[in-house]
Amino acid sequence: MYLAATSSLPLRLYQWTEQLFTDLGLPLWLLAVLVATVKAALIIGFILINVIFLIWLERKLGGHIQNRLGPVYTGPFGLLQTVADALKVLVKEDIIPAAADRWVFMAAPLVAFVPSVMIWLVVPFAPGVQARDLNIGTLYVAAMTGCTVPALLMAGWSSGNKWSLLGAFRAGAQLVSYEVPLILATLAVVMLAGSLSLNDIIRAQQESTWFIFLQPLGFVVYLISAIAELNRTPFDLPEAESELVAGFNTEYSGFRFAIFFLTEYANLLGSSAIAATLFLGGWSGPFLPPFVWFLLKTYLFVFLAMWIRFTLPRLRVDQLMNLSWKFLLPVALINVLGTGVFVAL
Amino acid sequence: MSTTLLVFFALAAISLLAAWRVVTDPQIMHAGLWMGLCFVGVAGIFLLLTAEFLAGVQILVYVGAITTIILFGIMLSDVEEVQPQEPPFYRFRRRFGRWWQPALPLLVAAAFLVALFTIYGQAGWSDLQPVGPAASTPAGLDIPAIGHALFGPYALPAEAASVLLLSALLGALVLAMREETLRVFRGSPGSSRVLQPGSGMAGREVNAGETDHPGQDEKKEVGAGT
């Protein structure tokens, strides 16, 4: 069981529980189920707490960038504003439009939410603190990111609304287009590290240097593609409120809308954590504890994404496609080629 | 019964049910979604065989890309446009249709089964080693080995497959071109006309003059169209 190789407290806790199970004569598969449940609960708890903070941060940052104050009334510095909003949205009615395709409509938010949580299976929080060190780590992350697209298509198509449908079209085209440079940028990092495992990538960065210095081009491609994958401004065409009301989630209300909202921020956090791992050395760093480094680096990317959101205007659809296929893809391919030559030398 | 076997049966049941719904669901969009679920089930079976890399690729390519593209294609295509005026082999079917229609697929399936058994019989089922958690290396499936195989002995088949995909891509491009675009390439008059947006979308019609919520009639029409 891969739980804690170096950090001693979780390991001791696990050994103590194992001893308890053998003493009580309980089957070991129950222990495996228990451990998996605890890990999942910890990860979901981490995501929920961070998302609540992220939404507040986004509004506060946006406020200050636009010379406003952002939320101020609920709690100190308006910190409890998100909590209040979440409670409000949870008690709202869950409306399913008459023209909607009922089952697909109801399932879409869940299908979108699951991959955003599953990404965290391989994220290394600190040395040894990782739900599972898959040896296909980066491939797994790419696969899970790709699973978001069918969910958005489901949401937009099943709503029975033209704005939703158009939003889904845009989401599908955009996400499929930007996945290619995103994966190619990741591939260059994998080539440098010689492994798909995120732990090995961190180790490789400890041995040489942060990959942002070896892969500046790859980093820029990754950053742009990741922001496009997250549907954030300047790439928020799938939910462009000035033309499409709210895109694919126009018809959603109450809890299901909250799930979409949660997914969006969970994906932002997940992408930032992966970017920090791939390019900034993950949890490694001097003086501070590894987990603090991990959070700092993750929030650096979060801040960057928010800064970009409140600085740049939205692109047009044709500009969006041109940027991906005619600029990012060639640059990413050249980057992979250059990295290949660099590794071979 | 071991846990692995139980999980296998659950995954197999999901995959089979989804695969069955793909061919029986009257709503083509639902069929596409069932197909995605079927792929996820197969990926689970790969994971059970500790073929993690294959499972990842299965999800990435089949669920993330192929299902998406197919759903996208369904949403973009006009159902009426897709319906052929006269089905292929129309005269042949009209003459032999009654008894030939169920017999032909059965015949093809049986021939395929025989072929499969012949091929696997040569290799011998007993030669295949069970791939369990114990049999695999600690690092799981050997990813460098897959890379060496793809760029070494299997380089030619892999390249052939990519050329096939590329030609399919180009073919789709040509098919998707409308008359106006083709005229641009031919340089005929009237080439400066702006492209009309897609003529229709399966499932959900998007026209400026229509109400936001297409009524029941349209839904029925889609069901009938598929």
Q: With pLDDT > 70 as the criterion, what percentage of chain A qualifies?
A: 97
Chosen for mutation from A157, A164, A166, A229 (greatest number of chain B CBs closer than 10 Å) is A157
Residue B159 domain-assigned (yes or no): no
CA distance to partner chain A, nearest, from residue B215 (Å): 7
How high is the pLDDT of residue A210?
84
Residue range A80-124, pLDDT digits in tens: 888 888 888 888 888 888 877 888 888 888 888 998 888 888 888
CA distance to partner chain B, nearest, from residue A288 (Å): 31
* Cβ A43 vs Cβ A129: under 8 Å: no
Mean per-residue pLDDT, B164-181: 80
How high is the pLDDT of residue B14?
92
Q: Do B213 and A99 touch (CB under 8 A)?
A: yes
Chain A residue with minimal CA distance to B204? Answer: A160
The long-range contacts involving B202-209, CB below 8 angstroms and separated by at least 24 positions, are B202/B28, B202/B29, B202/B74, B202/B75, B202/B76, B202/B77, B202/B78, B202/B79, B202/B226, B203/A157, B203/B29, B203/B74, B203/B75, B204/A157, B204/A160, B204/A161, B204/A162, B204/A165, B204/B75, B206/A162, B206/A165, B206/A166
Confidence of residue B139 (pLDDT cuts 50, 70, 90): very low
Mean per-residue pLDDT, B201-217: 43
Contacts of B30 in chain A (CB under 8 A): 104
Mean per-residue pLDDT, A200-216: 84
CA distances, A105 to each of A154, B2, B73 (Å):
7, 37, 19
Phi and psi of A64, rounded to 5°?
A: -70, -35
Chain A residue with minimal CA distance to B61? Answer: A143
How high is the pLDDT of residue A235?
80
* CB burial readout A97-136, b (16+ within 10 A) else e: bebbbeebbebbbebbbebbbbbbbbbbbbbbbbbebbbb
Q: Do B204 and A144 touch (CB under 8 A)?
A: no
Residue B177 domain-assigned (yes or no): no
Residue range B50-90, pLDDT digits in tens: 778 888 888 888 888 888 888 888 877 765 555 555 666 66
Residue range A48-91, pLDDT digits in tens: 899 988 989 988 888 888 888 888 888 788 788 888 888 888 88
Residue range A2-48, pLDDT digits in tens: 444 445 676 777 778 878 877 877 777 777 788 888 888 888 999 98
* Cβ B224 vs Cβ B79: under 8 Å: no
* Residue ranges making up the domain that contains B26: 1-79+107-118
Nearest CB to A147 within list B30, B64, B69: B64
Return the half-sphere exposure (C-beta side, CA atoms, 13 A cut-off) of residue A294.
20
Q: How far apart are CA B8 and CA A172, in angstroms?
A: 32
DSSP state of A324: I
Structural domain count, chain B: 1
Chosen for mutation from A95, A147, A164, A317 (greatest number of chain B CBs closer than 10 Å) is A147
Name the nearest CA neighbour of A217 among A177, A189, A175, A191: A189
CA distance to partner chain A, nearest, from residue B214 (Å): 7
Residue range A11-20, pLDDT digits in tens: 777 778 878 8
How high is the pLDDT of residue B92?
66
Residue B153, Cβ density class (10 Å: 0-12 exposed, 13-18 middle, ≥19 buried): exposed
Q: Do A176 and B69 touch (CB under 8 A)?
A: yes
Residue with tokens 């065409």: A237
Contacts of A144 in chain B (CB under 8 A): 59
Q: Do A135 and B29 touch (CB under 8 A)?
A: no
Name the nearest CA neighbour of B73 among B201, B222, B219: B201
How high is the pLDDT of residue A213?
82
Confidence of residue B210 (pLDDT cuts 50, 70, 90): very low
Residue B74 domain-assigned (yes or no): yes
* CB burial readout A226-258, b (16+ within 10 A) else e: bbbbbbbbbbbbbbbeeebbbbbbbbbbeebbb
Confidence of residue B123 (pLDDT cuts 50, 70, 90): low
Kindly report the CATH number assigned to the domain that includes residue B75: 1.20.120.1200
Q: With pLDDT > 70 as the criterion, what percentage of chain B qualifies?
A: 57
pLDDT > 80? residue B208 = no
The radius of gyration of chain B from alpha carbons, rounded to an integer in Å, stands at 23
Lowest mean pLDDT among A303-312, B11-20, B37-46, B99-108: B99-108
Residue B26: cis peptide before it, omega within 30 degrees of 0? no
A57 versus B122: the higher-pLDDT residue is A57
Angle at A49 between CA A48 and CA A53, to 5 degrees: 115
Residue B8 domain-assigned (yes or no): yes
Chosen for mutation from B3, B72, B151, B221 (greatest number of chain A CBs closer than 10 Å) is B72
Mean per-residue pLDDT, B81-102: 62
Chosen for mutation from A101, A162, A243 (greatest number of chain B CBs closer than 10 Å) is A162
Q: How far apart are CA A302 and CA A273, in angstroms?
A: 9
Chain B residue with minimal CA distance to A196? Answer: B143
* CB burial readout B89-108, b (16+ within 10 A) else e: eeeeeeeeeeeeeeeeeeee
Residue B154 domain-assigned (yes or no): no
Q: How far apart are CA A198 and CA A48, in angstroms?
A: 23
ipTM of the complex: 0.81
How high is the pLDDT of residue A125?
84
pLDDT > 70? residue A321 = yes
Residue range B21-32, pLDDT digits in tens: 888 877 788 888
Q: How far apart are CA A316 and CA A300, in angstroms?
A: 28
How high is the pLDDT of residue B17?
92
Residue B129 domain-assigned (yes or no): no
* CB burial readout B120-135, b (16+ within 10 A) else e: eeeeeeeeeeeeeeee
Residue B133 domain-assigned (yes or no): no
> Which residues of A lie closer than 8 Å to B, measured between beta carbons?
29, 97-99, 101, 104, 134-136, 139-140, 142-147, 149-150, 153-154, 157, 160-163, 165-166, 168-169, 172-173, 175-176, 179, 196
How high is the pLDDT of residue B16?
92
CA distances, A261 to each of A132, A166, A223, A240 (Å):
27, 19, 21, 15
Mean per-residue pLDDT, A250-274: 87
Average pLDDT, chain A: 84
Mean per-residue pLDDT, A298-310: 90
Lowest mean pLDDT among A117-126, A165-174, B93-102: B93-102
Residue B67 domain-assigned (yes or no): yes
How high is the pLDDT of residue A309?
87
pLDDT > 50? residue A331 = yes
Confidence of residue B15 (pLDDT cuts 50, 70, 90): very high
E strand intervals along chain A = none
Phi and psi of B66, rounded to 5°?
A: -70, -45
Mean per-residue pLDDT, B129-155: 63
Q: Do B63 and A136 touch (CB under 8 A)?
A: no
Q: Do B33 and A161 touch (CB under 8 A)?
A: no
Q: How far apart are CA A237 and CA A170, in angstroms?
A: 7
